[in-house]
Structure 1
Amino acid sequence: MALPDFEAWAIFEAVARRGSFTAAAHELALSKPTISKAISRLEQALGTVLFHRTSRKISLSTAGQSLLHHARQIARDGEAAMEAARDTTHLLKGQVRLAAPLSYGLSHLAPVIADFMCAFPEITVDLQLDDARVDLIEQGFDCAIRIAALPDSSLRAIRLRDVDGYFIAAPSYLKRMGQPAAPADLIDHDCFIYSNTPNPEFWQITGPDGQSTSVRPRCRFQSNNGDVMLPALIAGRGIGYLPDFLCRKALEAGQLVNILPGWRMGDITLNIIMPPSRLRPARVDALINHLKHNLR
């Protein structure tokens, strides 16, 4: 059995990421013929075409797209293994790709990243903010911030803290519409629904003693971002359910009221998630350690 051609896999990852043989050759300090031969060698070994080539551009074939996440993992593990075998202080440079939810990224992560960039001036950060769940391997992220109850998966996770959630409304709304005494009362109120969940039309609510009930709230406003709900909630337009990092200031200021204390929608945690491998480049470990220290 022939050994895997790790060099060709790493070169394939670089060509796919940079979008050209010339750019990959420049990044890897190799000649363009060396790059071309490695790709041809890998295609011959796999029995499939990895790139569609024209005189102006290259693009990944269907097979190339399906194999790219393997190439990324091979390149990442190879780099991390090399760094693990020697002093990594001088290797704290290069790019780290991080994904995070939009609102949390703006309110809490942005200043932490700014401090990280000051501490590690040779590390560049590609931070992508999106409330949609990303595929770390497929989309080439080194790590991600995820605020959720994590399902079982092959991904590695570091739990940073519990995130409290609150059913909230403005005093003006409660004066006009009355205060719900139990979750079942929400069907008679104007509710703000966070749509970026598997079943946003149903609220699965757990009480202080662990009992659970399912409620279909009356939707007045729906969005895939929690931050955008705050102004209308404070203005007394309805009832919402938001995590602590979005609504705590408004609660402390009396602009909003926790209307169903002790009731919550699931157990939510703040986590750093990473690809399955224990090997990571030193620059990625530097960012993860910085996040652990500053976000807990």
Structure 2
Amino acid sequence: MPHLPDFEAWAIFAKVAERGSFSAAAEELGLAKTTVSKAVTRLEERMRTTLLHRTTRQLSLTESGRASLDRALRILNDGEAVEAEILEEAAIPRGLIRLACTGAFGVRTLAPLIPEFLKRYPEIELDLQITDTKIDLIADGFDGVIKVGQLADSSMRASRLFSHRLPLVGAPALFDRYGRPEQPEDILKMPIMVYTHVREAQEWRFFHPVHGERLVMVQGSIRMNNGLAAVPVLLEGLAITLQPEVYIWNELQEGRLEEVLKEWTLVPVPVHLVTPPGRARPARLRVLLEFLRENFSKQPWAHGIEH
């Protein structure tokens, strides 16, 4: 297999020819003069010809040097143009964001923020996919995925947006019928709803500052895979469940739902923006992350926001 062209050496040669000296080229490129000289020598050895006549006072192109200069300058200019374009893209919020998000969170929490984001950054295009199917960030060609819940170990880059509580809730009328639980085990006497789209859905692990951890294994008479769809069932007093606070904040404030076992808490649920691995995100993703954190920080159900 043939070796790749020595693009660096050709670009250095073009800069030397353009500036008329090794010293001037080295200064502009931010390289040592010896590095510039060795690159041109390396190129000449590879081409088996002399590209530059060198004297103590003057530098001039040979016939081979003149013949190859136009293409060498094209390599240099194209490289500079690519870098300038990428740097500009990294600095200015523009271009397409392909973003995925789970159904309930996307509809209830993310979608209302989209109009303001697009008005603030008119040069950004958005392709938002709200789906509960598993997303492969790289294979499916997404720039980012908003994930609710604990993350599996991954090489992807994850930025925490916020965390929300999982209070144990039900309608006041339900607790009037069954009584308000005093211990986690008391809930087993009540109708329970579980979520089938979360891991270990039937293992409810409570924590108390004095009594420690308590694991309750529940058997849900009602099963759902969407947090928003569960709200009407809860309001009708048909079951209790561990419900993301983000979906029922208003209902709790209005008293239509009631939180019980307040001293027994569960591990808060984190929400992350996950993006492909890499040291730097383009500006369009950076401003999206900042925008989401800014807006979530105003919400009473959002905790642990990083700035």
With normalisation by structure 1, the TM-score equals 0.67
Per-residue CA shift, 1:140-178, capped at 9, x if unaligned? 211122221334322212222221110001111011122
Q: Which segments of 5 or more consecutive residues in structure 1 lack a partner in the other structure?
A: 4-80
**Partner SS for 1:175:** helix
Does residue 1:160 correspond to 2:161, yes or no?
yes
Classify 1:142/1:85 alpha carbon distance in 2 versus 1 (closer, same or farther; 3 Å): closer
Report the counterpart of residue 186 of structure 1 in structure 2: 187
The CA distance in 2 between the partners of 1:110 and 1:246, in whole Å, is 14
C-alpha contact (below 8 Å) 2:91/2:282 kept by paired residues: no
What residue identity is the alignment partner of 2:173?
Answer: S
Per-residue CA shift, 1:110-152, capped at 9, x if unaligned? 1221111112223221112234552212222111222213343
Q: CA RMSD in A?
A: 2.4
The CA distance in 2 between the partners of 1:149 and 1:209, in whole Å, is 25
What residue identity is the alignment partner of 1:95?
Answer: L
Q: 1:197 offset after TM fit, Å?
A: 1.5
C-alpha contact (below 8 Å) 2:203/2:216 kept by paired residues: yes
Report the counterpart of residue 170 of structure 2 in structure 1: 169
What residue identity is the alignment partner of 1:269?
Answer: P
C-alpha contact (below 8 Å) 1:101/1:146 kept by paired residues: yes
Report the counterpart of residue 136 of structure 2 in structure 1: 135
C-alpha contact (below 8 Å) 1:99/1:145 kept by paired residues: yes
C-alpha contact (below 8 Å) 2:161/2:292 kept by paired residues: no
Per-residue CA shift, 1:183-237, capped at 9, x if unaligned? 1122221111011112222222323347222222231211110111111111111
What residue identity is the alignment partner of 1:115?
Answer: E
Max radius of gyration: which structure? Answer: 2
C-alpha contact (below 8 Å) 1:156/1:274 kept by paired residues: yes
Classify 1:121/1:176 alpha carbon distance in 2 versus 1 (closer, same or farther; 3 Å): same
The CA distance in 2 between the partners of 1:168 and 1:150, in whole Å, is 25
Equivalenced residues, count:
219
The CA distance in 2 between the partners of 1:108 and 1:266, in whole Å, is 21
Report the counterpart of residue 148 of structure 1 in structure 2: 149
With normalisation by structure 2, the TM-score equals 0.64
Q: 1:92 offset after TM fit, Å?
A: 3.8
C-alpha contact (below 8 Å) 1:83/1:282 kept by paired residues: no
Q: Which segments of 5 or more consecutive residues in structure 2 lack a partner in the other structure?
A: 5-81, 298-307
C-alpha contact (below 8 Å) 1:186/1:218 kept by paired residues: no
The CA distance in 1 between the partners of 2:284 and 2:84, in whole Å, is 10
Percent of residue pairs bearing the same amino acid type: 31
